[in-house]
Structure 1
Amino acid sequence: MCGVAGWVSFDRDLTVERQAIEAMTHSMRQRGPDEWGIWTGRHAAFGHRRLSIIDLPGGTQPMSVDTPDGEVVLTYSGETYNFVALRDELRRRGHQFRTASDTEVVLRGYLEWGEAVAERMVGMCAIGLWDGRTGRLVLIRDRLGTKPLHYLPTPDGVLFGSEPKAILAHPLAAPAVDTDGIRRLLLGFPTTDEGVWSGVKIARPGTVITVDRSGLREHTYWRLTAEPHTEDRESTIRTVRAMIEDNVAHELVADVPRGVLLSGGLDSSVLTGLADRSLRPRGEAVRTFSVDFPDQTENFKPDTIRGSADGPYIADVVEHVGTDHHQLILDHRALSDPAVRREVVAAWDAPYGMGDMNSSIFLLFKALKEHVTVALSGEAGDEIFMGHLWHHAESVYSGGNFPWFVAWPQLDTSSYMTQEFIELVDLPGFTRDSYHDALAEVPHLDGEDTRRRKQREIAYLGLTRFMRTLEDRLDRMAMRAGVETRVPFCDHRLVQYLYNVPWAMHTFDGHEKSLLRAAARDVLPDSVAGRRKSGYPSTQDLRYVAALQQQVRDVLAEANTDALFMCDPAKVAEAAARNPAEVDPAARFTFERILDVAVWLDVAKPSLKLS
């Protein structure tokens, strides 16, 4: 797991441009604290920051191979879980290997199959390849977009990097954000290949991008398809179990210590139980890590997103499985620490305003880094197994909007915006257009009735929109702390299979995620097997809300209040003066966004071009 960066220019000699590629590379030093490397050629320059996971001495990058027709160079972030099988096949085809790394397998796979190597890889990746034989750059992103990859076309080539900050570190890139960028920021996820920063594109999941003197081209090598599901329920359960078990076994492979993030929910508990089945025969106990807040269990109050406190369920899993458990308790001071907020915003390159849900996971990864370098996460389980409340809310079937917006209207912060800003961004119109564009992509089977078509739409939107932000968040927060996360549920074969399972199978036991529960019931304590979905934990400590209010009042008191460009200062001031117990979710979210924006303006120094 690493950070990649690159610059291709067909009108310059990049062998004398080392300073620029070094700046791009070192902007992501947290992604790769163990090693770094630079390669420069006449028209291409690559950088790499390495977090060493497999073949610690042999996986140094950028990695290159000299061929009779020119040099082929690779900068690669990710893990190829089937690299052993690919290496065996490449050896049979005559390739010789000098390292034990998956990096060299990807490089030699490209020599053998060209850009079609992407179709043979199972795992997560963001790849840059310079093919000196043809004078061509090849960029590859994994099928589900688990690893981030951004690029910026230039007049004579392209800049690319794992994160926007790598591109923005180059003199050719202007750190500008226009109105559409703000709209996407408020929407909470990218639209197709567009993000927050003007001109900086996001490589779409499952795509190969090629750049040569004739221009830039994009090719989709994988997308979800609609197919008949022919297995009965019991066969489906067995297939799901086999696929997840295989994913966990492959994703535990590492030359560094590894653990599992445990929330006490179904997804993470299943991974914990299956990891134990894989590791215990080797004499190794699973290391688990969780986050909680002081007195959260005793004082917990259910809401529309979180139905129960995590603590008791975490304890049950730890006892049931027998894990080596580490728990991080975060109080209101740690969660509201401005230094932590600065790390989070810098990691994400944008002020998404998710507050303690960001700071808590970042701090968990920092604590986890003292024990392990690789962590398995249950992220994406809800999107893949149709586990969110909005997957099953009747209001979503007639809502005419992204399902989560219909199911969670309390997250609408427009009541704290100025009328001028509301009219400028026209977020309802932008959201509506984005929604209909997304619906146009949804694959269906001929003859499906209206309800089944709607179910496919709900599933597809979660997998291609909602999940992208969660994957990005997990990657950014973990990598900022120097930790690699692996996501066994983010396997394209599993996603494709479950997308076509009839909806009734997803809820056959009267709960959400019936298939996952049935497939792994034998590794779960009874309490977790019967637990309803509860969202990622967020502190209910009113002292945290009070800390936000004070920090927002400090922003309001500043002479230059650019951080309030989205907000109505009078409405924000009124909310900041309330009793913390009377602060509604929209006000709290607004506080978080204002504070994130204040940090973003200071750290990233964006030029806002709103019109």
Structure 2
Amino acid sequence: MCGIVGWIDWENDLTSQTSTLKQIADTLCHRGPDAQGEWLSRHAALAHRRLEVIDPANGGQPMLYQVGQRTYALTYNGELYNFRELKRELETRGYRFRTQSDTEVLLAAYAEWGEDCVQHFNGIFAFGLWDEQRQQLLLARDHLGVKPLYYAQRGNTILFGSELKALLAHPLIKAEVDVRGLVELFAFRHTPGSAIYRDIHELRPAHKAVCNHNGMRISRYWSLHSEPHTDDLPTTAEHIRTLLRDIVKRQLIADVPVVAMLSGGLDSSGLTALAAAEFKQEGKQLHTYSIDYVDSAQHFQGSSIRPSLDAPWVQRVSDYAGTMHHTVTVDTPELIENMLVPLHAYDLPGVGQGWASLYLLFKRMKQDAKVALSGESADEVFGGYPWFHSEAAFNAQTFPWMAEMATTRGSRHSRSLMAWLAPDVAQKVNPLEYMNQQYRSAIAEVPRLDGEGAREARMREIFYLNLTYFLPMLLDRKDLMSMATGFEVRVPFCDYRLVEYVWNIPWEMKTTGNIEKGILREALTGILPDDARKRKKSAYPTSQNPTYVNAVRDWTLEIVNDANAPAQSLMNTQVVRAVAEGKVPGLPDEATAFLCERVIQTNEWLKDYHVTLSV
């Protein structure tokens, strides 16, 4: 895993721009603390900041590859889990390799198949590949969008990078946000392809872009296809089990230590058990890690989304799988101290403690390893969230998680999450029509199955919305918080082969046993103990300690009372003060903390990034 940067200019000579290129790339040193490199030609400048995982000695980048008179240069972030098979195939076609890295395999794949090389990849990746003879750039991003890739065009110049900060460091790019950006930031979050800042874009998952002096051509290289599912229940469960074993085995490949995240929930527990079995075959013990909070048992209040504490289940699965477990316990002072880490990782206001606590977990894990497995995307792939099982969300003509929020938390609570904005700003940001427009666009993309019943068709829509609009937020969080500490996290449930197969499993079979993710539970029979396998889903834990809510309230009041605070231009001071002083009857602590976190991070964002707002 790494940080990548590229600067293409078809009109000007870039060979003298080494200093500027290094300054831009150095904004990503946290992503790649182990090595660095730059490569410049007349019209292309590529840079790389490396986290050494595969072939540390020989996998440096940007990597050059020559075939005859052709020269290719690559800056690449990610892992190809099938690089060994690809290497063998390419060797039969006459290619010879000087390294053991997947980077060289990617370059040879391009030499053989051109831009269609992405059709051959199984992995997580974002890369920029410059074809010197053609004077052409290929950008590509993995199937589910595990690795980020942003780009911007300014005249004859194209810039790209792993994070927004790399683009914002270039003299041509300004931190400008218009009304649409504010809608995305404060009300929607976010449309695929949007990057909030004006005229900066995110390359969508499963897309590639071919750029030359004639312009940019963006196309989709992979998509889900709807077709009848013909396997019976036992065959389906066995196929999922077989896929997961293969996926985990592939994703354990590394030349550095690999560990696993373990929350005691179904997803991480299943991956842990499979990985631990692989480790045992090699005579090794898997190390696992979980997050907890000081006095969590004392302050825990069960809810529909967090029905039980994780700790007992973590221990149950660790004992069963035979892992060496580590619990990372954090307290309010650490959460407050690291409140702004998500902002500076994301280059946009984040969500607060849900991101900061994950950063603290990864920071501790990095002391022992460089790579971990995580269970992200299982809920989107298999249907684990409450809104998959809610009639209100099923019937609502909007994004299901928003319908679920309005139902479970009340429309008053939902509105309060926007009420902190000043009336004139809220009027311009008014998300309803924008949200409806995005919903209609998303629904229009859903791959339909002819003859499918109304209920199955609607469930297919809900799955598609989760995979394309909800999952990106979690993958961004995972990538940015892990890479902020130079740590790679792999997500086996994002393997496109698994996603393709599960996509067509009927809803009734997905919920076999009348429980969420029933088919996954069935597939993990014999891999997990039955009690852990049947544990009801519990969301990622957050601190319920009142000291945390009080701390963010106090910080928010400092901003409210500072007439020069940048956020004053956006916020409804009266509302924010009432929330921070605890004078909004019935507003849960969770909602209070969320709103205060948003004010704190927005204020710091406007100040640190010198944002120009056009509203």
Do the two structures share a fold, i.e. TM-score over 0.5? yes
Structure-2 separation of matches of 1:565 and 1:323: 52
Aligned to 1:97: 97
Counterpart position of 2:309: 309
Task: Give the distance between the partners of 2:195 and 2:188, measured in 1 at CA.
Answer: 10
Q: Which amino acid is 2:237 matched to? A: I
Does the CA-based 8 Å contact 2:175-2:610 persist in structure 1? Answer: yes
With 230-239 and 556-565 compared, the bigger mean Cα shift is at: 556-565
| 1:512 alignment partner, one of 494, 516, 520 | 516
- For the Cα contact (< 8 Å) 2:510–2:517, is it kept in 1? yes
Matches within 5 A, 1:449-488: 449-488=453-492
Select the residue among 358, 380, 383 that pairs with 1:361.
358
Structure 2 equivalent of residue 20 of structure 1? 20
1:536 corresponds to: 540
Q: Residues 353-392 of structure 1: matches in 2 within 5 Å?
A: 354-392=351-389
Q: Which amino acid aligns with 2:433?
A: G
Given the superposition, is the C-alpha separation of residues 112 and 558 from structure 1 closer, same or farther in structure 2, using an over 3 Å criterion?
Answer: same
Match of 1:547 in 2: 551
C-alpha contact (below 8 Å) 2:265/2:532 kept by paired residues: yes
Give the corresponding residue for 2:393: 396
User: Is the counterpart of residue 608 in structure 1 residue 613 in structure 2?
Assistant: yes
One of 351, 360, 374 as aligned partner of 2:349: 351
Determine the C-alpha separation between the residues in 2 that align with 1:589 and 1:114.
47
The alignment partner of 2:551 has SS state of helix
Q: Distance in 1 between matches of 2:585 and 2:292?
A: 21
SS in 1 for 2:146: coil
Contact 2:192–2:468 (8 Å) recurs in 1: no
CA contact (8 A) 2:290 2:327 kept: yes
Q: What is the correspondence of 1:12-161 to structure 2 with a 5 Å cutoff?
A: 12-161=12-161
- Contact 2:150 2:195 survives alignment (8 Å): no
Shift of 1:489: 0.3
1:237–1:519: 8 Å Cα contact kept in structure 2? yes
SS in 2 for 1:523: coil
Residue 200 of structure 1: aligned partner: 200
Shift of 1:4: 0.7
Query: What amino acid maps onto 1:50 in structure 2?
Result: R
Contact 1:545 1:580 in 2 (8 A): no
Please give the per-residue CA displacement for 1:381-436, whole angstroms capped at 9, x wherever unaligned.
10011111111111112111101001112454123333322211111111111111
Structure 2 CA distance for aligned equivalents of residues 169 and 128 of structure 1: 18
CA deviation after TM superposition for structure 1 residue 333, in Å:
1.2
Aligned to 1:243: 243
- On the 8 A contact 1:350/1:600 being kept in 2, the answer is yes
How far apart, in 1, do the equivalents of 2:572 and 2:563 lie? 16
How many residues matched?
607
Cross-structure match for 1:428: 432
The letter for the 1-side match of 2:111 is L
Consecutive aligned runs of 4 or more in structure 1 exceeding 6 Å deviation:
579-582
Shift in Å, 1:438: 0.5
Unpaired segments of 5 or more residues in structure 1?
Answer: none
Match of 2:388, as an amino acid?
A: H
Partners of 1:212 and 1:578 in 2: CA distance: 56
Aligned sequence identity (%)? 39
State how far apart, in whole Å, the 2-side matches of 1:189 and 1:442 are: 20
Residue number in structure 1 paired with 2:601: 596
**Separation in 2 of the partners of 1:291 and 1:580?**
31
Corresponding letter in the other structure for 1:522: G
Distance 1:417 1:131 in 2: 48
Q: Where does structure 2 lack aligned partners over 5 or more consecutive residues?
A: none
Residue 135 of structure 1 aligns to which amino acid in structure 2?
Q
Distance 1:450 1:566, change over 3 A: farther
Secondary structure at 2:79 match in 1: strand
Tell me which amino acid in the other structure corresponds to 1:364.
L
Instruction: Give the structure-2-normalised TM-score.
Output: 0.97
Q: Deviations over 1:446-481 (max 9, x none)?
A: 111221111000000001110011111100000001
Please say if residues 188 and 469 of structure 1, whose CA atoms lie closer than 8 Å, have aligned partners that are also in contact: no
In 1: Cα distance, 2:394 partner to 2:361 partner: 37
Counterparts of 1:24 and 1:289 in 2: how far apart (Å)?
34
Counterpart residue type for residue 552 of structure 1: T
Contact 2:549 2:592 in 1 (8 A): no
- Cα distance in 2 between the residues matched to 1:57 and 1:581: 61
RMSD across aligned positions (CA): 1.4
Matched, 1:446 2:443: no
Contact 2:206 2:222 in 1 (8 A): yes
Deviation at 1:103, TM superposition (A): 0.5
Q: What TM-score do the two structures reach when normalised by structure 1? A: 0.97
Q: Which residue type is aligned with residue 427 of structure 1? A: P
Which whole-Å CA distance do the structure 1 matches of 2:342 and 2:172 have between them? 26
Contact 1:224 1:496 in 2 (8 A): yes
- SS of 2:339's partner is helix
> Would the aligned equivalents of 1:138 and 1:208 in 2 still touch at CA under 8 Å?
yes
